[in-house]
A = this chain, B = another copy of it.
């Protein structure tokens, strides 16, 4: 069986909004052993919606609609699916009473347009919406001689997710042959995609029943492993075997074995070692602190630090001698080390990081070009400095620099 997802809404046909519900739905559907083979976006236009629904119902066994279930004139998914399937809509008095109660509970009177949210396709199961007014609908059976499953879900992501989990997952599983999908994600920092692929392709190609996908982001490679089997144990055993073999090859460059973020892993190691961290950031301007503190509870291991943009602030907040800056320049191995050591001392932290570089787009020189960054890690045992020339724009250079710094902390502690 194959699935198709139709996102409904004219706002999804503007330059400003993209359909993200289908990413969640794809993940859910893949886990049930079903592939998504088409995704479409259609605006709030009855004729086009009917045509798209007909076409989807012709070519795909499972068709999931998201959006267009609200109370406004533009919400036309119910009407379009009814027309495409040649089924009447019935107004469900129980749903209607529930909507009226929702309004009454807030002291409001329900306006007439809300009643259409109680319209149900003949033969459909009504799926209660735990997080909103418009219920979903589930329809399965033969249409035009073809066995089909049709699901209508509301567009707001938290309503769609709540409803899918509560009402659709098990209903779908019951309709499908038993198939279990096991997944693993390995993450690698600061290696190139082609380098990683060259090393691991000979390994993962040995596992014909494990689907391996390599995704490259700034400073990070993700290796996704997927395998299907008739039991979860069998599927899991295969992805683990493939992932373990790949991990052995990549050794300590693998920072995450189950999808955790680098920020989480660094926090994990700092807590494991009962250590604290302080940072002094020049060209990254706070991004490293922001990434570390994006994790809830990071106050257990993150002391804080300084954003040392102006040279005088490097001296004032991180204790870098002014004459050192003058002698070596603010972007130098020496200043990076002094930042790391100074902020470690000032914040009384176990480890100190110093970052200084040229993020661009301006400010580069032949000796110190845009992309040059010095990363220092100071500890009781001394200070190490890594110099790199990163490609890309300001955003990418800052991301690379903070990723490398986080990975230095991980390697120091693991």
Contact = CB atoms under 8 A, between A and B. Distances in A.
Interface of A: 11-20, 22-24, 26-27, 30, 35-43, 45, 48, 51-52, 55, 59, 213, 215, 222, 224, 276, 278-279, 281, 284-294, 296-299, 302-310, 312-314, 316-317, 346-348, 359-363, 394-395
Contacts of A309: 289, 293, 298-299, 302-304
Q: Tell me which of A215, A306, A348 has the highest count of chain B C-beta atoms within 10 A of its own C-beta.
A: A306
A197 to B, nearest CB: 13
Q: Interface of chain A, helix or strand or loop or mixed? A: mixed
Given A296-B362, A317-B346, A304 B306 contact: yes
A154 B289 CA distance: 38
A41 B42 contact: no
A74 to B, nearest CB: 13
A51 B284 CA distance: 49
A30 B13 CA distance: 10
30 contacts: A12-B39, A13-B38, A14-B213, A15-B23, A16-B213, A16-B215, A18-B19, A18-B23, A37-B45, A37-B48, A39-B40, A39-B41, A40-B41, A278-B313, A281-B289, A285-B302, A286-B288, A286-B289, A289-B309, A290-B290, A294-B394, A296-B360, A299-B363, A302-B310, A305-B306, A305-B307, A306-B307, A310-B347, A312-B347, A316-B346
Contacts of A14: 26, 30, 213
Contacts of A302: 285, 309-310
